[in-house]
C-alpha cells in the first residue's frame, strides 16, 4: 500500500474506538494486536462488538460505551456488516471510520489483514485523510383518523429497501420524484440507494455502479412486473416518495440492519441526509482500481493480450 503523498494529513486521533466482529476469533485476535500496536504509540483505545455488546478494552471503563467526538477514529475489524455497525456508532459524532477487511468483498474497508502494521503506523503518524459519503434520511408517513403524519424516522448509508411482507404476494408501489409521479410497480420491492450502496443490494438487483464522488440518489424496483422497470439516478436535492397501495403490507430495511413494519397505504420519503458518513483513507488508489480488485474484473484483452486490439 502507498502513503497519502500530497494529500492533507490529519493529526493523530485523540482515541481509537475499535468495532470488531465478535463472532470471529480471528477478528478478536487482530483487535488485541491493534491494542498493543496503538498503545506503543501512546494512543488510547476502546472496543465495541458489532452486536452492540460493549466490552472493556484499553482505556475504556468496563461496560461503558464511550462518547465519541470528531477527533476520534473508529477502526473496524470485520466485513461490510461490521462497517455498517460502525457507521451507526460514529455518524452522530463525526468520527471517521477506517476498515480492516476480514469479509469476502469488503467494499467499505480501506485495508486487508496483511496491511495491519501499515494501518497502525499511518494512524499514529496522522497520515490519513477524510472522505465524506452521502447518507439517506428516511421518513415513514402513515395515515389515520387525524390525517397523515410521520410515524418513524431512520437513516441509511447503503440503502433502504421496501419489500413485500408476504412471500406469495407482490406489493404495489407508486414512485414519485419531487411530488411528480414517476411509475407504479407491481414488484417484490423497491430500493433507494446511495453511491456507496450502489455496489451492495442495488448492484445485485441490477442497478448501476456509481462512483463515490458522484452525489446522487438511486431508485430501482426489485423484480417488477412492468414494462418500465429501469434503475434511475436522481439528483441529490430531490425527494423520492414511495406510496404503498392500501392492499399492500410491507417491511422496510435500512442497510439490512434496522427493520420497520410499513402499514398498507403508508408512504416513505427518502432524501439526502444533511450529515454525511466520514471514512478515513490511507492510500491514493482510485475507486476504479478498488472496483477491479474487489470484483476481480477482467482488464486484459479477450485473448489475454493487454494491448488495444492486439492478438
**Catalytic machinery residues:** 80
β-pairing verdict for 129-133 and 159-164? unpaired
Query: Chain centroid to CA 18: how far?
Result: 17
Contacts of 180 (CB under 8 A, 6+ apart): none
Torsions phi, psi of 186, nearest 5? Answer: -90, 115
Cα separation, 120 vs 31, in Å, equals: 11
Helices of type H across 40-135: 80-90, 116-124
CB atoms within 10 A of CB 91: 19
Between helix 25-39 and helix 116-124 the angle, nearest 10°, is 40
* Residues 6+ positions from 136 with CB-CB distance below 8 Å: 155, 156, 157, 159, 160, 192, 194, 217, 254, 270, 271, 272, 273
Cβ neighbours of residue 168 closer than 8 Å, sequence gap 6 or more: none
Amino acid at each position: 500500500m502507498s502513503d497519502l503523498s500530497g494529500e492533507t494529513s490529519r493529526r493523530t486521533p485523540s482515541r481509537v474506538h475499535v468495532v470488531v466482529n465478535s463472532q470471529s476469533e480471528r477478528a478478536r485476535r487482530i483487535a488485541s494486536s491493534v491494542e498493543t500496536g496503538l498503545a506503543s504509540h501512546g494512543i488510547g483505545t476502546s472496543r465495541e462488538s458489532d452486536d452492540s455488546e460493549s466490552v472493556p478494552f484499553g482505556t475504556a471503563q468496563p461496560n461503558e460505551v464511550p462518547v465519541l467526538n470528531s477527533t476520534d477514529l473508529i477502526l473496524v475489524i470485520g466485513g461490510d456488516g461490521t462497517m455498517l455497525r460502525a457507521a451507526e456508532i460514529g455518524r452522530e459524532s463525526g468520527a471517521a471510520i477506517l476498515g480492516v477487511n476480514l469479509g469476502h468483498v469488503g467494499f467499505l474497508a480501506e485495508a486487508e489483514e496483511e496491511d495491519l502494521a501499515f494501518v497502525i503506523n499511518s494512524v499514529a503518524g496522522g497520515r490519513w485523510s477524510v472522505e465524506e459519503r452521502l447518507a439517506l434520511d428516511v421518513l415513514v408517513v402513515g395515515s389515520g383518523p387525524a390525517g397523515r403524519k410521520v410515524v418513524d424516522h431512520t437513516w441509511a448509508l447503503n440503502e433502504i429497501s421496501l419489500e413485500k411482507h408476504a412471500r406469495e404476494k407482490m406489493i404495489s408501489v407508486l414512485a414519485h420524484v419531487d411530488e411528480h409521479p414517476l411509475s407504479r410497480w407491481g414488484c417484490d420491492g423497491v430500493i433507494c440507494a446511495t453511491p456507496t450502496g450502489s455496489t451492495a443490494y442495488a448492484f445485485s438487483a441490477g442497478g448501476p455502479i456509481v462512483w463515490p464522488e458522484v452525489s446522487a440518489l438511486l431508485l430501482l424496483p426489485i423484480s417488477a412486473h412492468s414494462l418500465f422497470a429501469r434503475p434511475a439516478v436522481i439528483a441529490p436535492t430531490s425527494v423520492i416518495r414511495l406510496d404503498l397501495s392500501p392492499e399492500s403490507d410491507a417491511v422496510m430495511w435500512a442497510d439490512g440492519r434496522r427493520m420497520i413494519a410499513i402499514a398498507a397505504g403508508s408512504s416513505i420519503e427518502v432524501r439526502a441526509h444533511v450529515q454525511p458518513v466520514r471514512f478515513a483513507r490511507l492510500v491514493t488508489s482510485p475507486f476504479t482500481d478498488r472496483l477491479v480488485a474487489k470484483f476481480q474484473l477482467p482488464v486484459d484483452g479477450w485473448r489475454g493480450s493487454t494491448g488495444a486490439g492486439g492478438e
